[in-house]
Amino acid sequence: MRPGDHRTHLVENQPPPLAGADLLACDPALTGAVAREGAEEALPALRQLAALVTSAEAREHARLANTHSPVLHTHDRYGHRVDEVEFHPSWHWLVRTSVGWGLHGAPWVAEPGTGAHVARAAGFYLMSQLEPGHGCPISMTYAAVPALRHDPQLAARYEAGLRSTTYEFGLAEPSTKAGLLAGMSMTEKQGGSDVRAGTTTATVTSDGTYRLVGHKWFTSAPMNDLFLTLAQAPAGLTCFVLPRVLPDGTRNAIRLQRLKDKLGNRSNASAEIEYTGATGWRLGDEGRGVQTIIEMVSMTRLDCVLGSAALTRAALTEAAHHVAHRGAFGTRLADAPLMQTVIADLALESEAATALAIRLAGAVDREERTLLRLALPAAKYLVCKRAPAVVAEALECLGGNGYVEDSGLPLLYREAPLNSIWEGSGSVTALDVLRAVTREPESVDAVFAEIEAASGRDTWFDRGVRELRTELRGREERRARRLAEMLALCLQGSLLLRHAPDEVARAFVASRFLPDGPWRTSGTLPAEAQADALVARVTP
């Protein structure tokens, strides 16, 4: 430097870019669960996907897809209805990648117990860490296949396209396309989660199809090829399949009224739509709409758990990476006892969420329907509820750097509440837990068999299980949230006590099951927790 020069932009004490980090090496909770649930052979392929997820190219596509939100075009220049949504090319890259990896309907062709759904769940978890918004059409397509199987003819018409690993965007008759995506359209402005309050009507025609008229309040990914929807038929609420293009090549009467201006999930389009005499094919019996579509709801609930576990893990990765390379007050942040305890607590939350999510995927793979009936809504309640708090704590670990868009944490923070709302907000999900406990006692037995597999390993955990049994006897609606939380917490504790390293399991139980816990802010672990080991386990 010459005399008088002033250097003001020497960049020091900043972490290096995360691009190229090994996501599987710092996530033993995921790799262990995948192997345990029967998909160990998928780990080499998952390593390839994890490398793609952290590549600079993939991260740039994720950024661009959220910078350039979808745009609705209702009419062309001449005034004709087109009802098209325009997406940035990076959105198509993301969806094409997930479809190409079979993260949508592909697993349904495999035999039960082969690990296909576990491998798919792990892949969905990895891609959701990259960009969560595009996971919506992927998840709905995955969930549509078992629902479609209620009608062999409709399944024969659409299932091969829904399982195809080819992504073909655009409006065309489904049988002419190399690959299909499915959506669902249930809620209405007067009902929300109370789908039985819907006013959309379905009138049978002479050829056996139905004409649907009504307004749907939330239809995500409206450019998908077909939709499962609910409408009031003569015998009551009924499920229907509506393709966007009819077999004769004409457009179905599905009108896109507007796109929602959402808090997060900005890369994905969510629309209000109108059926103005749209043609639908009945799926299942008239009056049995909820029972027919419930399998789709269950599978999207699984992806809510996976998606929230992924957001938790993505936020943890950013925070752990930052403190590993950032110094303050004369020490590396990762070595500062209080910061170490905060990261360790976030790591426990992530490990428990991941272990439970992959266990549920294993239950889908092995068709453990009785376990899923209760464990799935309980897990959705707790894991999705915890995600916003975890992401907020992770953001704070970066301080002001975490509050700016470049860090990626604001995107995760805006996304974090979504999964708790989708497919039933917190109270709706908790009431479903209570309904399962009351009406399907065999589901309680299945969940307790899972929980009590860890009996005798920790006295505080055993005490928590006894408290859960006491809570179950009450079955009070006003305590449904407490019941859902206790069920999920005991499932997580059981999994970690049986399968996680001792320092993970003991710290989780000590911070979640002792009489004076769990504390609701991170970084309040008991003194005996081995925070340094927990941090090292999850740092990229």
**Burial of 493 per CB tally in 10 Å (0-12, 13-18, 19+):** buried
Residue 529 pLDDT greater than 90, yes or no: no
Is 528:512 a contact under the CB 8 Å cutoff? Answer: no
CA distance 460 to 178: 55
Is 512:529 a contact under the CB 8 Å cutoff? Answer: no
**Region 230-258 average pLDDT:** 96
pLDDT at residue number 4: 62
Residue 1 pLDDT greater than 60, yes or no: no
Residue 326 pLDDT greater than 90, yes or no: yes
Please give the structure tokens belonging to residue 102.
């079979």
CA distance 12 to 327: 10
Q: 231: which strand partners?
A: 238
Residue 193 pLDDT greater than 80, yes or no: no
**Region 272-282 average pLDDT:** 97
| More confident: 187 or 403 | 403
E strand map for 284-425: 327-328, 331-332
Residue 454 pLDDT greater than 80, yes or no: yes
Residue 521 pLDDT greater than 80, yes or no: no
Tell me which amino acid residue 81 is: R
Phi, psi of 102 (to 5 degrees): 75, 30
Phi, psi of 207 (to 5 degrees): -90, 5
**Region 139-166 average pLDDT:** 96
CA distance 468 to 254: 48
Share of the chain above pLDDT 90, in %: 87
The pTM assigned to this predicted structure is: 0.95
Please give the structure tokens belonging to residue 434.
């209570």
Residue 6 pLDDT greater than 90, yes or no: no
DSSP 111: P
pLDDT at residue number 11: 85
- Cβ neighbors of 33 (< 8 A, separation 6 or more) are 354, 355, 358, 359, 499
Rg of the chain in Å (alpha carbons): 24
Residue 194 pLDDT greater than 90, yes or no: no
CA distance 503 to 325: 24
pLDDT at residue number 196: 80
Lowest mean pLDDT among 18-22, 356-360, 392-396, 431-435: 18-22
Residue 208 pLDDT greater than 70, yes or no: yes
Whose tokens are 């450019």? That residue is 223
Q: 239: which strand partners?
A: 230, 283
Q: What is the mean pLDDT of the chain?
A: 94
pLDDT at residue number 5: 67
**Region 314-343 average pLDDT:** 95
Residue 82 pLDDT greater than 80, yes or no: yes
Query: From the centroid of its chain, how far is CA 3?
Result: 58
Lowest mean pLDDT among 6-20, 240-254, 304-318: 6-20
Band of the pLDDT at 519, cuts 50, 70, 90?
Answer: low
Helix intervals (H) in 251-336: 289-325
pLDDT at residue number 158: 97
Residue 424 pLDDT greater than 70, yes or no: yes
- Cβ neighbors of 257 (< 8 A, separation 6 or more) are 74, 215, 271, 272, 273, 274
Share of the chain above pLDDT 70, in %: 98
Residues 246-265: tens digit of each pLDDT: 999 999 999 999 999 999 99
- Cβ neighbors of 330 (< 8 A, separation 6 or more) are none
CA distance 135 to 98: 8
Is 401:474 a contact under the CB 8 Å cutoff? Answer: no
**Region 460-484 average pLDDT:** 94
**Region 406-423 average pLDDT:** 95
Residue 496 pLDDT greater than 90, yes or no: yes
Band of the pLDDT at 467, cuts 50, 70, 90?
Answer: very high
Closest CA to 269 of 227, 217, 303, 222: 222
Residues 354-375: tens digit of each pLDDT: 999 999 999 999 999 999 999 9
Strands 254-259 and 182-185: unpaired
pLDDT at residue number 293: 83
- Cβ neighbors of 308 (< 8 A, separation 6 or more) are 353, 383, 384, 386, 387, 416, 419, 420
CA distance 194 to 205: 28
